[in-house]
Amino acid sequence: MAPAAKDKKKILEYKGHPLRRKDNLIYYGSMSDKYIIMLQITETKSLSDLDLATRIVVSLQYTDPDLKSKDRVVKKSEKGSFYEAIDVAAVWLERALAAG
């Protein structure tokens, strides 16, 4: 393996789109596209030594920096598990990007 390949950080992806986490916010998609998904973990519960997300707000948003944050939201939903949230997010993002 080449030294340059070792140094490059591997980006976590789901269904071909990058996932980035900052505290309780998870961004799904690329900022270079027209849309991105924001997953906001609003509630967790402890199970042994893990925190499980029990309420996640999913929102499809425009990436246009000139829009106000409330005007960026195209659709929004609330889910009870991370699996449900990322499943809806993947469908919304694929449909939005395909529609243009």
pLDDT tens, the chain, 100 aa long: 455 555 567 889 999 999 999 999 999 999 999 999 999 999 999 988 888 999 999 999 999 999 998 899 999 999 999 999 999 999 999 999 999 7
Q: Is the overall model pTM greater than 0.75, yes or no?
A: yes
Task: State how far the Cα of 59 lies from the Cα of 79, in Å rounded to an integer.
Answer: 11
* Residue 93 neighbours by CB under 8 Å, 6+ apart: 17, 28, 29, 35, 36, 37, 60
User: In this structure, what DSSP letter does residue 50 have?
Assistant: E
- Specify the pLDDT at position 100: 77
Beta strands in the chain (DSSP E): 13-14, 17-22, 25-28, 35-47, 50-62, 73-79
